[in-house]
Amino acid sequence: MIIERLKDFLTPNSTVEKEGILVAKEVADKTVWDKLADENPTHAVISANDEEAAAKKSVNQITDIKQHIKPGDVLLDCGAGYGRVAKYLLPEVELGGYLAVDSAYQMLALFKQWYQKSDTEQQTPLLLINADIHTLPLKDSSVDVVIVCAVFLHNHKSVVEKAMLEIKRVVKPGGKVLIYSSFPRAMTFMGLQGMAYQVLLNLMGRPFKNGPVRYYRRSEIMHLFDNFTEVELCPIGYNFLPKTLIFLPKPLEVVWRRGLANPINSLLEKITPARLKPYFAVHYDVVATK
Ligand SMILES: C[S@@+](CC[C@H](N)C(=O)[O-])C[C@H]1O[C@@H](n2cnc3c(N)ncnc32)[C@H](O)[C@@H]1O
């Protein structure tokens, strides 16, 4: 039972009440992922409606990861979700260890479920760690490869900065850091829209909300990889018109996306010369060596 007058001890607007318990807003934002894990995990992690679609969407990424790892490596998956990457990677490569970190307990519970069902995947030992990516409970220089997929973009940039320091700390010298779908480009209409939304979050006193997409300039990304020996930024995708207009009500937003943005973007992609396409990329993937 919450005694109302004790609420005077709290910083204004710092908590939300959930079944009689006060949850700090920053924690509450992250538990959104637990709810999504219960509802539709494939949609939450890769916008796919079922496992088959998730497998299809994962093919290029798994092929890329395989180029940067070797059997026996210890791999850290930051924000691993329900283990989508492991699910498609481990049947193909036997690793020395798979360390999966995620702040959503429910996601890791799903990860554990399918891992326990598959003998092939179990040839790689797995450690499931319910933690934040900016406070990794791991030893210095302990892992060979780090992957981060579709996680940074949902975090405030200050969290990403701390997470990158942690990643730098735990990866061995010469180890690889692979970042996928995590740095959407700021210099796009989507980026401008996202920056306006961050201003709104700041005004609402919720700048750190976990979920809304944060957008990056090339120089900001390079700064995050200071002191790495090699850093390669790969422009991915094509977008001119924003595929969503976040301030539109849902039905109008669908009309915009399906009726205008998607067909116009496809047409423009076909007629844009290859050398100009990087200027319209949706995001940068990164391959870095410590
Ligand atoms: C879009 S899903 C991507 C999951 C997985 N990387 C994949 O690509 O299949 C984002 C995941 O990151 C986790 N996450 C977000 N912010 C995090 C943080 N600061 N620390 C740890 N996990 C985080 C969420 O709980 C969620 O499981």
What confidence tens digit (pLDDT) does each residue in 251-289 have?
A: 888 898 899 999 999 999 999 999 999 999 999 999 999
Residue type, 207: P
pLDDT given for residue 204 in this prediction: 86
154 within a domain of the structure (yes/no): yes
Tokens of 17: 């009440």
pLDDT of residue 1: 58
Which carries the bigger pLDDT value, residue 210 or residue 86? 86
Q: Measuring from each residue's beta carbon to the nearest atom of ligand 1, which residues come in under 6 Å? A: 33, 44-46, 79-81, 84-85, 102-104, 107, 132-133, 149-151, 154-155, 159, 210
The tally of domains found in the chain comes to 1
**pLDDT (tens digit per residue) in 141-174:** 999 999 999 999 999 999 999 999 999 999 999 9
| C-beta separation of 137 from 66 below 8 A | no
246 found inside a domain: no
Residue whose C-alpha is closest to residue 286's, from 170, 146, 105, 174: 146
The per-residue DSSP string of 124-182 comes to S-EEEEE--TTS----TT-EEEEEEES-GGGS-HHHHHHHHHHHHHHEEEEEEEEEEEE
Looking at ligand 1, which atom is closest to the CA of residue 85? 9
Distance between Cα 37 and ligand 1 center (Å): 11
Kindly state whether residue 260 falls inside one of the protein's structural domains: no
Does 255 reside within a domain?
no
What pLDDT shows up at residue 2? 61
Position 248 in a domain: no
Confirm whether 273 is domain-assigned. no
What is the per-residue pLDDT across 79-91, written as a single tens digit (0 to 9) for each? 999 999 999 999 9
**Contact at 8 Å (CB) between 151 and 211?**
no
For ligand 1, atom 2, the nearest C-alpha belongs to: 45
- CA of 231 relative to ligand 1 center, distance in Å: 23
Q: What is the pLDDT of residues 14-28, one digit of tens each?
A: 787 877 777 777 777
Supply the range of the domain harboring residue 86: 25-238+280-289
The pLDDT of residue 155 is: 92
State pTM to two decimals. Answer: 0.89
Rounded to the nearest angstrom, the distance between the alpha carbon of 52 and the centre of ligand 1 is 20
CATH number, domain containing residue 44 = 3.40.50.150
